[in-house]
Amino acid sequence: MNNKVLIFDTTLRDGEQALPACLNVNEKLQIAIALERLGIDIIEAGFPISSPGDFKSVQVISKNIKNSKICSLARCIYKDIDTAAQAMKSAISPRIHIFLGTSSLHIQSKLKKSFHEITEMITSSIKRARKYTDDIEFSCEDAGRTSLENLCFFVEKAIKYGANTINIPDTVGYTTPTQFKNIIQTLYEKVPNIHKAILSVHCHNDLGMAAGNSMSAIEAGARQIEGTIGGLGERAGNTALEEIIMALKIHSRKMGLVTNIKTKEIYRTSKIISQLCRMPIPINKAIIGKNAFSHSSGIHQDGVLKNKENYEIIDPTMIGLKKSKLNLTSRSGRAAVNHRMNEMGYQPHDYNIDKLYIDFLKLADKKGQIFDYDLEALAFINNQKEKEEEYFQLKYFDVQSKLSGFSIASVILKCGSKKKIKEVTTKNGPVNAIYQALNKITLYPIKLKKFNLVANGEGKDALGQVNIIVKYKSRNFYGLGLATDVIEASAKALVNVFNHIFKANQIDKKFDRGS
């Protein structure tokens, strides 16, 4: 049996479904580039039929990603399949991923179809997809609750009509590792043409067993694992790919299995995804959490000082984690900043050193001392600006607060290439005042649903990060702002939202025109 395990990432599809607001095209592309650099074999870029934005994202990713397969999801509906293929026209190696519920529960209560109708939908859809590509994946949705007899029947039919990857999802996280291993073993024993396809698994974490089920499936012969970085996904999430990757690496001698993953990219990739998705990494998260390599117990500390292997089975450098702190000031030169970025694993094409250094000096004058998280935040902001021209740009703001509780905000917002508009507003609280002033300029009918302030760093060295969720025409939009000043970070977050709304409207208009 093949000793290579393929890694299929669905952060941009299943992972995004769990986010309160959609990612924009540029954010999805940044994640795809990070996944490609990590060595992911297959990137599920989206569900093109679901929205114009998703279609556009799959198009853009298909044009830019060269070393990973691009995959699009489709129901067993011809229009879904045709749209998925159209979105991936520029992909070097496209895959169409078709799914349909196969459990009696899904067939009867969700799909309201007969067994014969389900079989016909599966076979005809695979034949339709084969017109576009010979790389077809079929998923038996809710396989964990599908009878083994029916599951074997559907898998055999799917392979017969052209599916070369068969995915067995534990869609609701129902099974235990022993049960799931038995499912995979049974398929190998009872499906006569199983050797013509790669067996894949897609496990959810409702009972906290996603990683355990995935590992038991690998032991039984599965050679593709689907999941997300950090375990993002519906409900309790998907299999956390970093856990599977490192488990295979740590037990490589015993299991004799390998992946294409560059493990030193794991930590950086997880941070990029966490920041772009506005989903903090839990401190106790396996592999990538802040406490994963921390030791509090005196006994543990003593053991680690004598030999790290006493209490650490993974060397932090294996996942690209650096423990050293950066100690740079405004007196530091461009070369020092560039050197530290390289030490953290960033390549020259990941950031513009000239722009980064200008922002570094401005921040260093305010803070005095600059740390790793500061540089990463500045690089992130500059990367956003570099990749897309922002329609709305905050050029000036001033907020004056009085003892009465009223605040007066004055802002200048650049709209497009030339137009600048100034607005002054008086409201209760400085953030409210500046938000009202900004919104009077754009006139977007928005509603602030969530405002969250977090600190990157501690005490006086903290860099304020404001995350907001805004509702606009029944859709949620995320905003992110970073600055040492909370009011400035708040203003930047709202302007960030305005730019997302503007781009979404542009995409919607384009599709309305039929282009």
Verify that 413 and 266 share a domain, yes or no.
no
Domain boundary among 260, 277, 294: 277
pLDDT in tens, 357-410: 888 888 888 777 777 767 877 887 676 655 556 889 899 999 888 777 788 989
CB 322 within 8 A of CB 343: yes
Verify that 381 and 448 share a domain, yes or no.
no
* Per-residue model confidence (pLDDT) at position 422: 83
Tell me if 429 is assigned to some domain: yes
Q: What is the DSSP string of 363-397?
A: HHHHHSSB-HHHHHHHHHHHHHHHHS--SEEEEEE
Verify that 206 and 343 share a domain, yes or no.
no
Verify that 158 and 210 share a domain, yes or no.
yes
Which residues make Cβ contacts (< 8 Å) with residue 113, sequence separation at least 6? 107, 121
Tell me if 314 is assigned to some domain: no
Tally of CA atoms within 13 A in the half-sphere of 63 that contains its CB: 11
What's 500's domain CATH number?
Answer: 3.30.160.270
Confidence of residue 85 (pLDDT cuts 50, 70, 90): very high
Q: What is the count of structural domains for the chain?
A: 3
Tell me if 21 is assigned to some domain: yes
Please list the residues that pair with 167 across neighbouring strands: 139, 200
pLDDT in tens, 164-214: 999 999 999 999 999 999 999 999 999 999 999 999 999 999 999 999 999
What domain range includes position 406? 392-512
Mean pLDDT calculated for residue range 447-458: 79
Verify that 365 and 426 share a domain, yes or no.
no
Q: What share of the chain is helix, strand, coil (3-state, %, to 5)?
A: 50, 20, 30
Verify that 100 and 139 share a domain, yes or no.
yes
Tell me if 294 is assigned to some domain: no
Confidence of residue 326 (pLDDT cuts 50, 70, 90): very low
